[in-house]
Amino acid sequence: MSAVTVIYALLFYVATAILVIGVARKIYIYARAPQPLKIPTTPAPTTRLGVAARMVREVTVFESLFKANKWTWLFGWIFHFCLFVELIWHLRYFTEPVLAFLPWMQWFINFTGYGMVLGLLGLWGRRFLVDRVRYISGPSDHLMLALLVAIGASGLAMKFLVHTDIVALKAFFIGLMTLNWQRMPADPLLLIHLTLVALLMIIFPVSKLLHAPGVFFSPTRNQVDNPREQRWVAGWTAKLDNTKAAGN
């Protein structure tokens, strides 16, 4: 077993643990934190079903962002959509036999890597070209984009320029999952790609990438607008007792 294999095996165990535990911890914190008052941004749906539909629109077509800024929406949506497709596509390195629908994506996948990088570059461009966005961009915002672009670019390079041994790679990951370690193909591009991905997984729970779980917990988006119809209490409002004699 080569040093590379051992290092990457450990790296991915650690990165996965940090990602899963870190995000689970945050979700636990979000779920447990009380929301004492009703604060949906109105007009808001008056039923749970309506809220679910609002949330689906928010996370699939970025409804609010669309209202706000068409360029940011366009680049942001392209990036997220392509990233999503790529993530699914990458399942083929982790499933044996591969999921039935994956082969259908073969054609489409030729574009999504480019789409991802294009979207990212568009978003990054705004950080330089639009004075307001330049003002609010900090070092971490630029680094995050650099990281994602590097992940996309290294992936693209392997797909279109210097092919890597994906059969061995798949064996490596399946091996990791079944605790039966296999050799890791030590191509430089692949090592770069995987290192960056592991890095992304590690910083996920302590970075702004928390917007991914966060959006589902955002009270302005996930609350039902029915405060008159149904009494809502949580946290400090649950501790109030108004039935005591007046004036206390």
Partner 1 sequence: MADIEAPVLGEYQIIPKIKLGTMAGSMPYIAKPDIQAGVGFPKELVPDWENVAVKKLGEMVSESRALQVFLDSCVKCGACTDKCHYYLGTSDPKNMPVARQDLLRSVYRRYYTFAGKHFPKLVGARDMTKDVLDEWYNYFHQCSQCRRCSVFCPYGIDTAEISMAAREIMDTVGQGQKYCNEVLIKLHSIGNNLGLPGPALANTLEGLEEDVKDDTGVDVKYPVDVKGAEVLLVTPSADFFAEPHVDGLIGYGKVFHAAGTSWTLSSHASEAGNFGMFIGSNKDLHKVARRIREAALELGVKRIIVGECGHAWRVAYSFWNSIIGPFDFLDQRYPIPQHICEFTYDLIQRKALKFDKSANDDKVVTFHDSCNVARASRMGNMPGGQFIIPRAVVRASVNKFFDMAPETIYESTYCCGGGGGLLTDELLDLRIKGTAPRMQAFKEVVEEHGVTHIAAICAICKAQFTKVLPYYKFPMDTIQSVHGLVSKAIRLGAVNE
Question: CA nearest 115: which of 80, 73, 161, 144?
Answer: 80
Q: Is 233 in the site for partner 1 (CB under 8 A)?
A: yes
Q: Is 147 in the site for partner 1 (CB under 8 A)?
A: no
User: Which region, judged by CB under 8 A, interacts with partner 1, from 6-14, 85-93, 109-117, 213-221?
Assistant: 213-221
Secondary structure class of 37 (helix, strand, coil):
coil
* CB of 4 or CB of 39, closer to partner 1: 39
Sequence-distant (6+) residues with CB within 8 A of 16 are 201
List the beta strands (DSSP E) in 69-120: none
Size of the site for partner 1 (CB under 8 A): 66
List the beta strands (DSSP E) in the chain: none
Q: Is 48 in the site for partner 1 (CB under 8 A)?
A: no
Question: Which whole-number Å values give the CA distances from 112 to 60, 75, 150, 192, in the listed order?
Answer: 16, 13, 15, 20
Q: Is 139 in the site for partner 1 (CB under 8 A)?
A: yes
User: Which region, judged by CB under 8 A, interacts with partner 1, from 94-102, 111-119, 186-194, 238-246?
Assistant: 238-246
User: Which region, judged by CB under 8 A, interacts with partner 1, from 5-13, 114-122, 139-147, 168-176?
Assistant: 139-147
Secondary structure class of 215 (helix, strand, coil):
helix
Burial class (CB in 10 A: 0-12, 13-18, 19+), 167: exposed
Rounded CA-CA distance 171/135 in Å is: 46
* Of the residues 37, 118, 157, 191, which one makes contact with partner 1 according to CB under 8 A: 37
* CB of 67 or CB of 104, closer to partner 1: 67
Contacts of partner 1 in 95-134 (CB under 8 A)? 123, 126, 130-133
* Of the residues 2, 41, 110, 178, which one makes contact with partner 1 according to CB under 8 A: 41
